[in-house]
Amino acid sequence: MNKIQNKLSENKRLLSIYFTAGYPKLDDTVEILQELEKSGVDLVEIGLPFSDPLADGPTIQASSQEALKNGMTTDLLFQQLKDVRATVSIPLILMGYFNPVLQFGVENFCKKCAEVGIDGLILPDLPLAEYEEHYAEIFKKYELINIFLITPQTSEERIRQIDSASEGFIYMVSSASVTGSSDGFGEEQENYFERIASMKLNSPLIVGFGISDSKSFQQATKNTNGAIIGSAFIKMLSEKGLGGITSFISSIIRV
């Protein structure tokens, strides 16, 4: 079983953290991963920075720009991750936009992912139909799980379609927004979380976008399997550096 599936089968509310590789410093990647695992994070999304991150708000845009300025590349990220499995065992997902993957070569990219021990990919601008027609075989060959997104506007029919194409979890975007733009969830989001939960999908649901603290984590995971924190974590990194990771994580998952 893939590490992601394994983790999902544990009966708990999962905390996933997103960070941009190459930020704050070019070589922080592995140390951040080690700190996250030590602090009790369940899975991690490593962001491959892109010049034009369409679905991201100002925080992740800025960290991506900074990471690129620091010199991050796809090649370098794979080099940094070469021995990551010697010290980090939680599931690792690469999240990025499709163009850098396309330039690297989709097959080559997947092969590298498998070599360094990546378990899954989130490529928000690679649509389901394209994936199924051209790339699903390659992902399967390298045992990579592709994670799809749904939003409050996604139709029930399409959610079912995405559910049946999913082998890991469904990334449930909390509201109609780019990353990092909400503070707390209202009734609308809670209804949406409940509505999707009541669909009894095969795939576990993990909520992302707009989760920043313990309260929003609790709200997001009441009816779902977990939640992802991105912008708030990056903001913390830019303020406190890697030394702030442990206390940030424990502020979220303290019971």
Partner 1 sequence: MNYNVNEKGYYGEFGGAYIPEMLYPNVEELRQNYLKVMAEESFQKEFHELLKDYVGRPTPLYFAKRLSEKYNTKIYLKREDLCHTGAHKVNNTIGQILMAKRLGKTRIIAETGAGQHGVATATVCALMGLECIVFMGEVDIKRQAPNVARMKMLGAKVVPATSGSKTLKDATNEAIRDWINNPVDTHYIIGSVVGPHPYPDMVARFQSVISEEIKTQLKEKEGRENPDFVVACVGGGSNAAGAFYHYLETPEVGIIAVEAAGKGIDSGESAATSALGKVGIIHGSKTLLMQTADGQITEPHSISAGLDYPGVGPMHASLFASGRGEFISITDDEAMEAGLELCKLEGIIPAIESSHALAIFETRKFKKDDVIVVNLSGRGDKDLDTYIKHFNL
Residues that bind partner 1 in the complex, under the rule CB under 8 A: 50-52, 54-55, 57, 61, 65, 68, 73-75, 97-104, 124-127, 130, 148-151, 153-155, 158, 173, 176-178, 181
SS3 content of the chain, % helix, strand, coil (to 5): 50, 15, 35
Least distance in angstroms from the C-beta of 172 to partner 1 = 10
126 or 249: whose CB is closer to partner 1? 126
Residue 75 annotated as catalytic: no
125 or 213: whose CB is closer to partner 1? 125
Least distance in angstroms from the C-beta of 153 to partner 1 = 4
CA–CA dist 16, 211 (Å, integer): 11
Least distance in angstroms from the C-beta of 251 to partner 1 = 28
Residue 28 annotated as catalytic: no
Query: Residue 41: exposed, middle, or buried by beta-carbon count in 10 A (0-12, 13-18, 19+)?
Result: buried
Catalytic residue among 28, 35, 42, 45: 45
Catalytic residue among 28, 56, 66, 119: 56
CA–CA dist 243, 237 (Å, integer): 8
Pairing outcome for strands 145-146 and 226-229 = unpaired
Coil, strand or helix at 125: coil
Cβ-proximal residues to 14 (8 Å cutoff; 6+ apart), any chain: 7, 8, 42, 43, 206, 221, 225, 226, 227
74 or 219: whose CB is closer to partner 1? 74
Least distance in angstroms from the C-beta of 214 to partner 1 = 26
Q: Which residues are catalytic?
A: 45, 56
